[in-house]
Structure 1
Amino acid sequence: MIVESVLGNLAELTEQERSGLHLERIALSGPELRRRVQRVVTDHGTEVGIRLAERRELRDGDILHREGRNAVVVSTLPTDVLVVAPATIEQMGFVAHSLGNRHLPAQFLGPGAEFEGLPGHDGVMVLQYDHTAEAYLREAGVRFARVERQMEVPFRHAEHTH
């Protein structure tokens, strides 16, 4: 089977539409979510060629094939991340500047995002795990946690010049 477009996402379906579906899942890591062309195997052993016509990232729940009650969907694998929860705006600025100079891709989530070991935060910065960033955060006394998390959007480096 060759897939050339995404048909939708499970999140767009009603509970009733999702309940009757038989799902075959394709587990992909962050870098694989960004690839337009790849060959993968579902959890049921079906080989799937992905050759997306449009330039887009795959997301958890993307429907790649649907035939009757059967669907082949993307399932994102958890990523090893550092979740940083600075205590003050001053600490946040210092941490963001220091880690930004290392050009680590980051994502920012609001106070509603829940993380084990980081209750009651005003928002967090999430980074792919990096041992030097972990050592810096520990040395600087910044509250953080290392967790496995299924990221909604894959990490990517921003294009820039100096």
Structure 2
Amino acid sequence: MTLRAVAVRRAGQWPVAEMRDEVVFDHDQRYRRRMRFTAIGGVDVLLDLPEAVQVRDGDAYELAEGGFIRVRAIAEPLLDVTAADADNLAVLAWHIGNRHLAAQFLPGRLRLLDDHVIAAMLTQLGGTVVRLTAPFDPEQGAYHHG
């Protein structure tokens, strides 16, 4: 039987005791309105949201039949970008935004999906780029409402 996920509940705002299963998704999979998936424990789920919502690590899909599917963020290949000072970091952020790339903003650093062309550009612009593998939680777009 396929269960229907009809809402997203933020981490800490859903009863963990009612978790029926969990799923591990990358950042693209965590921004969907509709898709079918099988959770880790074998529960079949149809994601059927009114609109696409950026789901973060620890959030849950609420099931129409009762219960929740916890969402975990999988580690992805990323670029961790730092700069000599805040002004240079702002320039790097501008170039990332100008290319409409998904970016995660952390204190004194930026993270984005690994891309050798972007890594070379950021290095040429004075950034320090380190490749790493970690969950990616990019900033929501300017037109996001939710």
TM-score band w.r.t. shorter chain: 0.7 to 0.9
Match of 1:28? 25
- TM-score, scaled to structure 2: 0.75
Shift of 1:57: 2.2
Match of 1:125? 110
Of residues 5, 12, 22 in structure 2, which corresponds to 1:3? 5
Shift of 1:27: 1.5
Q: Unaligned 5+ residue runs, structure 1?
A: 111-122
Q: What is the one-letter code of the residue matched to 1:150?
A: P
- TM-score, scaled to structure 1: 0.68
Shift of 1:124: 0.7
Q: More strand by proportion, 1 or 2?
A: 2
Distance 1:155 1:31, change over 3 A: farther
Runs (4 or more) in structure 1 with deviation over 4 Å come to: 20-23, 65-68, 154-159
Distance 1:49 1:95, change over 3 A: same
Shift of 1:23: 5.5
Match of 1:118? none
Which structure's CA Rg is the greater one? 1
Aligned counterparts of 2:34 and 2:53: Cα–Cα separation in 1: 11
Does the 8 A contact of 2:19 with 2:70 survive in 1?
A: no
Does the 8 A contact of 1:31 with 1:154 survive in 2?
A: no
Q: Unaligned 5+ residue runs, structure 2?
A: none
Aligned counterparts of 2:75 and 2:96: Cα–Cα separation in 1: 22
